Structure 1
Amino acid sequence: MSLVTSLFPASPWALGALLISSAIALKFLLIGRREKFLPPGPPTKPLLGNILEFPTQVAHFKYTEWARKYGDVISLKIASGTIIVLTSVQSIREIFEKHNAITADRPPHELTEQLTGGNHILFIHYGPTWKILRRTSYEMLSPYAVSLTLPIQVAESTQLMFDFLQDPTDWYDHYSRYALSVIMSVVHGQRCPRYATPRAQNLIINLKTFSQLVRPGETPPLDLIPALKYVPERFASWKTTLKNLRKAQREYYGGLMEETKKRMERGDGNGCFMQKVLERQEEFKLTDEMALYMGAAMLEAGSDTSASYLQNATQLLIMHPKVQEKAKEELDRVVGPDRMPQPSDIKNLPYVQAVIKEVHRIRPVVTTGVPHVANADIKYGGHTVPKDSIIFANIWGVYNDENLFSNPSEFNPDRYLENPYGLKKEHGSSSKDWGLLDDMDFGFGRRKCPGIHIAKNSISLNVSRLLWGFDLSKAKREDGTEIELDFHDLEPTVTSTLRPFKCSIKPRSERHAAVIRREFHEATAAFMPFEQELTGTDKEYVRRVREDLI
């Protein structure tokens, strides 16, 4: 018998079967391997790819470590799927900005699909519904439209400073109340005068339930193994949680919508976002479900990120008293002691602006952004970002790049006085790429956050007022020793949210405190259009506080 006939079956059918099975086996063995056209990355394992070393928490640290080793664009293999991580301004601009139509999609997310019916603008796939939601949100949140909401934003900021005066120990929750009340007023026309306001607490509960539901490991990998969604509910407790949350969300957001409609019917509209959406619902071609979850998405995003930023800023300012001193000198010179800073003052406060930028840089609220999906192949740097790959922007890695920033781990607002983007001198400031550095927290391309103007107003106004009116320092124990702060003590969430900590927040002088009380009293007229649906307890709280000021 020849060698050939000893290796291959005599029957053509058997030979064909062998070839087919060999091809299947080869394809199976190739799962998890990095294709040659992909950007480099850490070594893969057969079948698994990089799944064993894939980070599920504080992913930005691992992404940055890999970027420093393999390059600013790396690829990871998760079984047969591909993840691309971008850790440079140039790659982000090229892939997310220049190819914004190709990278405007989101990865599949079965949980949010079931929860919102595919109507949540943050997670929705690129398509006709997304285009309607995007057009509506951008028109309703244009710079001019947002400028009309400044009175309530300024008023809420005034209460925030008043809350610090009254009870500085609850400073952490004061920021949350402020952020909740601003976005609730802007979107649905009703404010939250207390952290314990029922509307605020219901939103917090819904958000916590959702965050826990989507946390890695809490639910089966539905997007990787779609068949798991057909497991009966009695064997899948996550389905019960999801069903209850959907019911709670629809009751909550639907209730807010109904109250907005009733206010409009009474002729007591206050010009909130949802009022304008409802007035133009047919023009925008919005279904009731689309309108409901558009409002929901704005509340969810706006109630979390602004508070997290301000909490981070407070910690950083406490840890850097010399930065406080320099900012206060500027505020005293430009604003003076007899009034609080106003939005119109910000352009005349370059150092305060630098502080704001440096907080964004050293502690970005969203460290790796929300993932995009490529709908076609993209060529970059001699490699291919393939169709259907999931793409992350490693924002933290960019902001901590030693090639761009001198001593990036150092909190140093002065870098922004020397260069408008905080860069080393050799990079200059004329490159089109650097413009992205200012707003990376707010997303990229066609998926950029439409609420950016509201967020920027909140941040600049409150940082300037906090520095104007208060001295921030570490809390002390009974024996007089200071309680040190932990910069890395964060909540296990997708945003850089600090855990609460003790600190000292004291008015700079009685003169400053008197100004805060006076301006809070003067803000009553701005508050009143947004207090039509207050509960009895909230009404009593508002009445008592205002009477005490008279």
Structure 2
Amino acid sequence: MVASAATAIFLTILLVLIHRLSKVGQRPKGYPPGPPTLPILGNIHLLPKEKGHLQFQKWAEEYGPVYSLMLGTKVMIVLSSDQAIKDLLDKRSNIYSSRPEMYLGQIISGGFRMLLMEYGETWRMIRKIVHNNLNIKASRTYVPYQDLENKAMLMGFLQTPNLFVDHIRRYTNSLTTQMIFGFRTTSIDDPKLKQLFHGFEKFCEVTGTQTAALLDVFPFLRYLPDALLPMRRYAKELHSKEYDLYVGHYLDTKKKLRDGRAKPCFCVDLVKAQDEEGFSDGIAGYVSGSLLEAGSDTTSATLVGFVQALMIFPGVVQAAQAELDTICGERLPDLNDLPNLPYIRGCMKESMRWMPTDILGVPHAVIRDDEYMGYKIPKGAGVMWNVWAVANDSRRHPNPREFDPTRWANDHQTSAEAASNSDPTKRDHFVFGAGRRLCQGMHIADRSLFLAISRLLWAFDFRRPVDETGQEIVPDMADLTEGLFVLPKPFKAIITPRNTAKAECIRHEWAKTEADLLDDELQWKVVPDGLIWKDYEPAETE
């Protein structure tokens, strides 16, 4: 009898497990529509290894602006219209501002990266610190940094134009190291500069792999040893290097601040907050490091995409230069010219629409059950905002793969104004996120893009290279890197000064800047007036 009862219990448990397992991967009734599923896998077998944004766009065309993907034990809701993004991520941001679990991403980040943090007290504390340093009032004080680094970039283009990607990256990185840590990055060969971009590229690649997806949707796979999970072993190696870079930057600046040797910077507020709140050097290092990667990568990737657009659409060069010559003549453009340069403003907006760096967004997560358009959205679901599909919706943007700055002739909004516009159809692009995850550095990025685009086109001609047969080489706009954030794969461009007068103007401007503002190590002699930070003062309890 005992044996029979035990057998019955075992069979009952087995049947329950089989029944529950049979439901894994199925799309429950009431969920948004989506591709047909397979048992256990759901739709995970349909996720492409590369160019995933194109498949996600096709699904949007087939299943509508809100569809679902069943990924093993998880569900991903995909928003592919400006209205859906506004309605959920913006208007319901109180429940749509968390993050789904990204196992390998968190291993690389040590659980410290703000980008991947769940919505909670730690995230809100960090967000407040960041807001105080990147709000619109604070961002105006960084203009001298932007102007100086832009002139240094122009000199780089003049001296070694074939290394234009490196000069762009140094431009955005040095601006950010000044704001965050108080020092300039003076060389395109700086090892920490190279490590930052290499490390972030690998972070994006790893988090976009099928291995990462499998470990997220089938958590039991995480029990496998590293020998059977080489991607996890690699993620740990990336974290070790990344931790040393980010926390090393922070601890070095922290020591200099306390010794009175560092220039005022964001770390002043971060060290004060650490004194008061007692959070770890790991968190502090990743707060400053996350700002460093955000300020360095997104703007530089957008500018690389813009240079590629000039290779594919040479008419943009002529149109932009005609406007610049009319308004600026023989002087360098500056920020005061922005209202009078509508085509250049269009180039900025079109760059972020045409080649969005966060091509599928970084998924949000909903923290409680919700309903939208009659569909159930379950607690814990990932919510993807399909940046590529919205940017390439032909009803929103006719002929979307054409780089056309005139689309924005009557749009005078900044990125921040467009993002907060109550009419979602009036939002220009979705590169900077949505809701409470909206990038707080938008004002700074807008200015950096304007200065770079206007001055590069004012000073230089951009032409296609030719092959051995004399045929022009046109880059493939679809040839992008893979991962969470993207940019064009390497391409060549012929960049030359428009004339000797403009080349001499660049040399003169840089020589004057160097003599007036920089010391023998090319660091600021005295920081610009008006910065929001003061010298570091230790807490009284120290």
TM range (shorter): 0.7 to 0.9
Aligned counterparts, 1:142-541, within 5 A = 142-217=135-210, 221-233=214-226, 236-238=229-231, 240-283=233-276, 286-337=279-330, 339-417=331-409, 432-435=423-426, 437-477=427-467, 480-524=470-514, 525-528=516-519, 531=522
Partner Cα separation in structure 2 for residue 164 and residue 236 of structure 1: 43
SS at match of 1:481: coil
1:156 Cα deviation (Å)? 0.8
SS of match in other structure, 1:440: coil
**What residue in structure 1 maps to residue 416 of structure 2?**
none
Residues 152 and 527, structure 1, Cα contact 8 Å, conserved in 2:
no
For structure 1, list consecutive stretches of 5 or more residues without a partner in the other structure.
1-10, 422-429, 534-550
Amino acid of the structure 1 residue aligned with 2:159: Q
TM-score (norm 1): 0.86
Residue type matched to 1:497 in 2? L
Deviation at 1:418, TM superposition (A): 5.2
Contact 1:96 1:445 in 2 (8 A): yes
The alpha-carbon deviation at position 90 of structure 1 amounts to: 0.5
**CA 112–31 in structure 1, closer or farther in 2 if over 3 Å, else same:** closer
The answer to whether the 8 A contact 1:185-1:530 is kept is: no
Match of 1:127 in 2: 120
Q: Which amino acid aligns with 2:143?
A: L
1:153-177 per-residue CA deviation (whole Å, 9 max, x = no partner) reads 1111111111111111111221122
Task: Report the CA distance shift for 1:51/1:333 in structure 2 as closer, same or farther (over 3 A).
Answer: same
Query: By how many angstroms is 1:89 displaced?
Result: 0.5
Tell me the secondary structure at the aligned position of residue 116 of structure 2. Answer: coil
- Residues 162 and 65 (structure 1 numbering): CA distance in 2 closer, same or farther, change over 3 Å? same
Structure 2 unpaired stretches of 5+: 414-420, 525-542
1:33 partner SS: coil
Instruction: For residue 122 of structure 1, give the secondary structure of its aligned residue in structure 2.
Output: helix
Q: CA deviation at 1:83?
A: 0.9
> Does structure 2 retain, via aligned residues, the 8 Å contact 1:132–1:284?
no
Cα deviation, 1:51-80, whole Å, max 9, x if unaligned, reads 211234322211111111111100111123
CA deviation after TM superposition for structure 1 residue 394, in Å: 0.7
Q: Give the whole-Å Cα distance in 2 for the aligned partners of 1:171 and 1:231.
A: 44
Name the CA distance, whole Å, in 2 between partners of 1:149 and 1:268: 21
Task: Decide which moves more: 349-358 or 54-63.
Answer: 54-63
- SS of 2:77's equivalent in the other structure is strand
Q: Distance in 1 between matches of 2:134 and 2:8?
A: 66
User: CA 1:42/1:182 → structure 2, altered by over 3 Å: closer, same or farther?
Assistant: same
Q: How far apart are the structure 1 equivalents of 2:363 and 2:17? A: 32
2:247–2:286 CA contact under 8 A, matched in 1: no
Aligned equivalents of 1:239, 1:321: Cα separation in 2 = 44
2:102–2:212 CA contact under 8 A, matched in 1 = no
Residue in 2 aligned with 1:539? Answer: none
Q: Residues 335-388 of structure 1, C-alpha deviation per residue, up to 9 Å, x if partnerless? A: 221x21112221221111112111222211111100111111221111112111
Q: Is the 8 A contact 2:247 2:281 kept in 1?
A: no
- 8 Å Cα contact 2:112/2:283 also seen in 1: yes
| Counterpart code for 1:321 | P
SS of 1:173's equivalent?
helix
Alpha-carbon distance in structure 1 between the residues aligned to 2:354 and 2:203: 28
The verdict on how the C-alpha distance between 1:376 and 1:282 changes in structure 2, with shifts beyond 3 A counting, is: same
AA matched with 1:501 = F
Aligned mates of 1:114, 1:410 — CA distance in 2: 39
Distance of 2:240 and 2:315 partners within structure 1: 50
Contact 1:119–1:129 (Cα < 8 Å) also in 2: no
Aligned residues: 514
Structure-2 residue corresponding to 1:544:
none
Query: What does residue 57 of structure 1 align with?
Result: 50
CA distance, structure 1, for counterparts of residue 318 and residue 107 of structure 2: 51
Residues 140, 273 of structure 1: 8 Å contact kept: yes
CA distance in 1, matches of 2:286, 2:521: 21
What residue is the counterpart of 2:527 in the other structure? Answer: none
The SS at the match of 2:45 is coil
- Superposition map of 1:70-89 within 5 A: 70-89=63-82
Check 1:85–1:530 CA distance in 2 against 1; reply closer, same or farther (3 A cut).
farther
* CA–CA separation in structure 2 for the residues paired with 1:265 and 1:159: 30
Q: What is the letter of the counterpart of residue 432 of structure 1?
A: D
CA contact (8 A) 1:39 1:73 kept: yes
Q: Is the 8 A contact 1:95 1:378 kept in 2?
A: no
Alignment CA distance shift 1:239-1:531 (3 Å)? farther
Deviations 1:407-434 (A, max 9, x none): 222222212125669xxxxxxxx96223
**d(CA) in 1 for partners of 2:21 and 2:232?**
32
Partner SS for 1:32: coil
Residue by residue, what CA displacement relative to the aligned partner does 1:254-308 show, whole Å, maximum 9, x if unpaired?
3322332343245343222123322444456644332111011112222221111
Aligned-partner Cα distance in 2 for 1:228–1:43: 24
Residues 165 and 507, structure 1, Cα contact 8 Å, conserved in 2: yes
Aligned twin of 1:3 = none
1:72 to 1:255, Cα distance in 2 relative to 1, 3 A: same
Shift of 1:317: 1.8
Q: What value does the CA root-mean-square deviation take over the aligned residues?
A: 2.7
1:270·1:529 contact (CA, 8 Å) conserved in 2? no
Q: 1:139 to 1:237 in 2, by over 3 A?
A: same
